[in-house]
């Protein structure tokens, strides 16, 4: 019987701790045939599981160009993530996916890209940034503004440095006022304000903004002032999911099944939906 | 002329199916005041009259309350998956109400769009539905509001119509149904079917437009003030199909299990961040109506409601699709 709920088994290659409560994990498929044929689009997600504890939904935060492993990143907040927190190299986790629509990276070609992320929103931005950098000639200027509450809450900090070394890339990092340390060299302020202060000049950019609702809310007027159309502003929404395949009925926002027609939506699409996310 | 079977012969036939190893389910009085669709171990338990409809629905025979999706064995850091593909016995649901049978073709759509759910499909294929047309309705029935009625054949393999005198007309809708009754009926000139139609009627389009246009209306909160959030509406609904996927850990047999869930529970949509898009019971009541009358019709071309009235009937506070409809209709009329 074809079982759409049965996961692939994946082996943990490495685990990395980013902050007091955030880790990322790199995985490879146990089945070499599955490893060879697997492909996904950046922005898609997977349902990852700790056997004996349950399943959880995370963005696949590696680039789709990387063929030997996939990454996911999580914050320890519940039963499943408590269990995932304990996994080590060579342990096995379950994976279902890839699910969801992903970012339209082809449609973004030729545009400047602006990535705005807050806190644990770095992973779903990271995959798109690497993808764009690996196809550098396809995209214009790239601006990345990434912030968190405190210095300790920033994730993938070392990769921000790597990105900054690429041609036509500007990386701004920030922490909320009071979240800085004595040796902090980045900006102090909230992501929308830091972005506004940076005075990015861009004609017809694509913006990917992911973070807490308040961050997104405060970013939109700034983009509006820059003349960016809501159809060019993308986000990835984080509705709770279980099945990931449009059956379990929990991720609807109006008629949209976020697991199938999302999680990537434009602000124009979101404006047409009930405030149910 | 019609095909007829007596109640005695129907009971004997039911006994034969049970004896032949079929899983047979039908209405049974499980407590003095409670009728449920139940697995029948003897034909004596089958209840054919004296009730409006069971308090549960037949969905549990194609979409069980709990269903193992697969097992796993954990040894050190190795995991082995164990498929759950034990063959299913043939299943007969007898004396389903039309509002239960009609739910199945509606549910087929969500379990089969894009990703095909074989757990649902294989049970559905193994099941024959024999429907007993309604000769009784109560004040919470409203099937005629959603395009059905006391003699609707939708989703049924066989229809039984009460002819009085403990005789039933047998009308086979599908070949699967005909196979069960072949040679078991008699010809009769008796054709006057006893049926009963619900009194209450509303226009589902009124509900759709209200819920779509009054998303933030205080109506929802007011309507939900007495709701205790128990989820009975969803669990006894023939069409509510939301589920959770949970682990029964090593202590409970090491399996991943699908269980019924309900949009009426606060945790249903709670994000890991603590944010909940539906923080109040009113927003959860609204979701149930929105899903049934706007979302599902837009996605699948079907209202996700068969008018059985179970939500309102079983709710400790009498809240359900009908109570919402009865309040919305006057509101809509008032405001034009």
Q: Determine the residue of chain B that is closest to A260 in CA distance.
A: B114
Confidence (pTM): 0.94
CATH code of A120's domain: 3.40.50.80
| Cβ pair A247:B117 closer than 8 A | yes
| Rounded CA separation A20/A86 (Å) | 14
Answer yes or no: do A79 and A126 share one domain: no
pLDDT above 70 coverage of chain B, percent: 98
Instruction: Evaluate whether A152 touches A180 at the Cβ level (below 8 Å).
Output: no
| Cβ pair A238:B113 closer than 8 A | no
Instruction: Evaluate whether A142 touches A129 at the Cβ level (below 8 Å).
Output: yes
pLDDT above 90 coverage of chain A, percent: 93
| Cβ pair A1:B118 closer than 8 A | yes
Q: Which of residues 87-106 of A touch B (CB under 8 A)?
A: 88, 90-92, 94
Instruction: Evaluate whether B40 touches B24 at the Cβ level (below 8 Å).
Output: yes
Residue A32: strand, helix, or coil: helix
Last residue of a domain, one of A65, A99, A133: A99
Q: Is residue A232 part of a domain?
A: no
Q: What is the mean pLDDT of residues A214-231?
A: 95
Where residue B10 falls among pLDDT bands split at 50, 70, 90?
A: very high
Q: Is residue A182 part of a domain?
A: yes
Answer yes or no: do A222 and A117 share one domain: yes
Residue B54: strand, helix, or coil: coil
Q: What is the mean pLDDT of residues B111-115?
A: 95
Answer yes or no: do A123 and A51 share one domain: no
| Cβ pair A5:B245 closer than 8 A | yes
Q: Which two tokens stand for residue A179?
A: 């979240």
Answer yes or no: do A120 and A219 share one domain: yes
Q: What distances in angstroms separate CA A99 from CA A186, B114, B210, B242, one per listed residue?
A: 35, 12, 33, 19
Residue A156 has pLDDT above 70, yes or no: yes
Instruction: Evaluate whether A166 touches A129 at the Cβ level (below 8 Å).
Output: no
Taking CB atoms and an 8 Å cutoff, what residues of chain A touch B271?
A: 238-240
Answer yes or no: do A185 and A159 share one domain: yes
Q: What is the mean pLDDT of residues A89-104?
A: 97
| Angstroms from B21 CA to nearest CA on chain A | 23
CATH code of A46's domain: 2.40.30.10
Instruction: Specify the DSSP class assigned to residue B227.
Output: -
**Short-list B104, B166, B162, B148, CA closest to B129:** B104
Asked if A55 has any chain B CB less than 8 Å from its own CB, the reply is: yes
Answer yes or no: do A41 and A128 share one domain: no
Q: How far is CA B20 from the centre of its chain?
A: 26
Best of B69, B106, B272, B298 to substitute, by most chain A Cβ atoms within 10 angstroms, is B272
Q: What pLDDT was estimated at residue B330?
A: 60
Q: Is residue A246 part of a domain?
A: yes
Sign (positive/negative) of CA torsion B220, B222, B228, B234?
A: negative
| pLDDT tens, residue by residue, A50-93 | 999 999 999 999 999 999 999 999 999 999 999 999 999 999 99
Taking CB atoms and an 8 Å cutoff, what residues of chain A touch B215?
A: 274-275
Q: Is residue A194 part of a domain?
A: yes
Q: Is residue A107 part of a domain?
A: no
| Cβ pair B271:A77 closer than 8 A | no
Q: Which of B115, B256, B295 sits opposite A255 (nearest CB)?
A: B295
String of DSSP letters for B60-79: GGTS-SEEEEEEEEEETTEE
Q: What is the mean pLDDT of residues A233-259?
A: 94
Answer yes or no: do A218 and A263 share one domain: no
Asked if A53 has any chain B CB less than 8 Å from its own CB, the reply is: yes
Q: Which two tokens stand for residue B328?
A: 């919305």
Report how many domains make up chain A: 3
Find where tokens 């299943």 sit: B91
Answer yes or no: do A12 and A65 share one domain: yes
| Rounded CA separation A276/B271 (Å) | 12
| Rounded CA separation A145/A154 (Å) | 12
| Cβ pair A3:B118 closer than 8 A | yes
Instruction: Evaluate whether A159 touches A128 at the Cβ level (below 8 Å).
Output: no
Where residue B335 falls among pLDDT bands split at 50, 70, 90?
A: very low
Answer yes or no: do A24 and A82 share one domain: yes
What is the domain range of residue A195? Answer: 113-226
Q: Which of A5, A254, A257 sits opposite B69 (nearest CB)?
A: A5
Pairing state between β B2-6 and B167-172: antiparallel
Find where tokens 């601006």 sit: A143
| Angstroms from A239 CA to nearest CA on chain B | 6
Taking CB atoms and an 8 Å cutoff, what residues of chain B touch A275?
A: 215-216, 277
| Cβ pair B245:A52 closer than 8 A | no
Q: What pLDDT was estimated at residue B332?
A: 45
| Cβ pair B242:A92 closer than 8 A | no
CA atoms within 13 A on the CB side of B140: 18
Q: What distances in angstroms separate CA A249 from CA A100, A145, A155, A196, A203, one per listed residue?
A: 15, 34, 32, 39, 40
| Angstroms from A134 CA to nearest CA on chain B | 32
Q: Is residue A231 part of a domain?
A: no
Q: How far is CA B87 from the centre of its chain?
A: 24
Q: Is residue A247 part of a domain?
A: yes
The chain-wide mean pLDDT, for chain B, equals 94
Q: Which two tokens stand for residue A136?
A: 């550098």
Answer yes or no: do A62 and A119 share one domain: no
| Cβ pair B69:A77 closer than 8 A | no
| Angstroms from B69 CA to nearest CA on chain A | 7
Answer yes or no: do A121 and A142 share one domain: yes
Q: What is the mean pLDDT of residues A160-183?
A: 96
Q: Is residue A200 part of a domain?
A: yes
Last residue of a domain, one of A74, A99, A124: A99
Contacts of B123 (CB under 8 A, 6+ apart): B61, B62, B63, B64, B88, B91
| Cβ pair B275:A213 closer than 8 A | yes
Answer yes or no: do A246 and A173 share one domain: no
Q: Which two tokens stand for residue B84?
A: 């759950």
A106-120, B178-192, B266-280, B316-330: range with highest mean pLDDT: A106-120
Taking CB atoms and an 8 Å cutoff, what residues of chain B touch A88?
A: 77
Where residue B253 falls among pLDDT bands split at 50, 70, 90?
A: confident
């Amino acid at each position: 019987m074809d079982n759409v709920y049965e996961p692939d088994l994946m082996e943990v290659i490495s685990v990395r701790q980013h902050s007091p409560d955030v880790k990322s994990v790199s995985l490879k498929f146990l089945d070499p045939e599955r490893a060879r044929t697997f492909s996904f689009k950046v922005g898609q997600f997977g349902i990852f599981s700790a056997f004996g504890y349950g399943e959880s939904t995370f963005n696949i935060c590696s680039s789709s160009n990387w063929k030997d492993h996939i990454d996911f990143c999580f914050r320890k907040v519940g039963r499943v993530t408590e269990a995932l927190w304990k996994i080590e190299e060579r342990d096995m986790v379950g994976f279902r996916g890839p699910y969801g629509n992903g970012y339209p990276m082809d449609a973004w070609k030729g545009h400047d890209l602006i990535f705005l992320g807050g806190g644990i929103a770095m992973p779903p931005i990271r995959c798109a940034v690497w993808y764009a950098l690996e196809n550098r000639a396809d995209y214009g200027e790239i601006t990345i503004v990434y912030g968190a509450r405190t210095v300790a809450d920033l994730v993938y900090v070392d990769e921000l440095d790597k990105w900054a070394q690429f041609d036509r890339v500007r990386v701004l990092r920030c922490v909320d006022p009071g979240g800085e340390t004595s040796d902090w060299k980045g900006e102090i302020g909230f992501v929308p304000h830091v972005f506004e202060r940076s005075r990015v000049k861009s004609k017809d950019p694509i913006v990917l903004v992911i973070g807490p609702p308040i961050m997104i809310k405060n970013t939109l007027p700034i983009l509006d002032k820059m003349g960016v159309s809501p159809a060019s502003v993308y986000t990835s929404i984080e509705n709770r999911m279980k099945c990931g395949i449009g059956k379990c009925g929990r991720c609807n926002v109006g008629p949209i099944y976020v697991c199938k027609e999302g999680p990537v939506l434009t602000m124009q699409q979101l404006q047409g939906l009930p405030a149910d996310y | 002329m019609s095909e007829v079977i007596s109640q005695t012969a129907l009971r004997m036939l039911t006994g034969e199916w049970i004896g032949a190893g079929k899983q047979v389910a039908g209405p049974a009085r499980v407590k003095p005041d409670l009728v449920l669709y139940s697995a029948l171990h003897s034909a004596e338990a089958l209840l054919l009259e004296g009730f409006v409809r069971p308090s549960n629905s037949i969905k549990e025979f194609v979409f069980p309350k709990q269903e193992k999706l697969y097992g796993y064995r954990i040894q050190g850091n190795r995991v082995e998956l164990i498929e759950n593909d034990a063959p299913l016995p043939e299943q007969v649901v007898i004396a389903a109400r039309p509002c239960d049978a009609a739910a199945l073709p509606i549910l087929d759509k969500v379990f089969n769009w894009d990703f095909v759910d074989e757990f649902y499909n294989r049970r559905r294929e193994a099941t024959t539905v024999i429907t007993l047309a309604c000769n009784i309705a109560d004040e919470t029935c409203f099937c005629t509001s959603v395009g059905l009625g006391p003699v609707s054949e939708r989703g049924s393999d066989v229809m039984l119509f009460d002819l009085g005198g403990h005789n039933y007309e047998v009308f086979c809708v599908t070949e699967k149904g005909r196979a069960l009754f072949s040679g078991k009926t008699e010809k009769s000139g008796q054709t006057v079917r006893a049926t009963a139609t619900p009194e209450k009627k509303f226009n589902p389009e009124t509900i759709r437009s209200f819920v779509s246009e009054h998303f933030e209306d205080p109506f929802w909160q007011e309507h939900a003030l007495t709701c205790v959030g128990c989820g009975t509406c969803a669990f006894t609904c023939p069409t509510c199909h939301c589920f959770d996927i949970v682990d029964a850990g090593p202590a409970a047999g090491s399996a991943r299990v699908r269980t019924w869930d309900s949009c009426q529970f606060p945790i249903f949509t709670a994000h890991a961040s603590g944010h909940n898009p539906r923080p109040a019971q009113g927003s959860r009541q609204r979701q149930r109506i929105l899903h049934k009358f706007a979302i599902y019709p837009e996605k699948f071309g079907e209202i996700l409601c068969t008018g059985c009235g179970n939500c309102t009937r079983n709710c400790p506070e009498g809240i359900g699709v009908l109570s919402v409809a009865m309040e919305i209709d006057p509101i809509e009329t008032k405001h034009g």
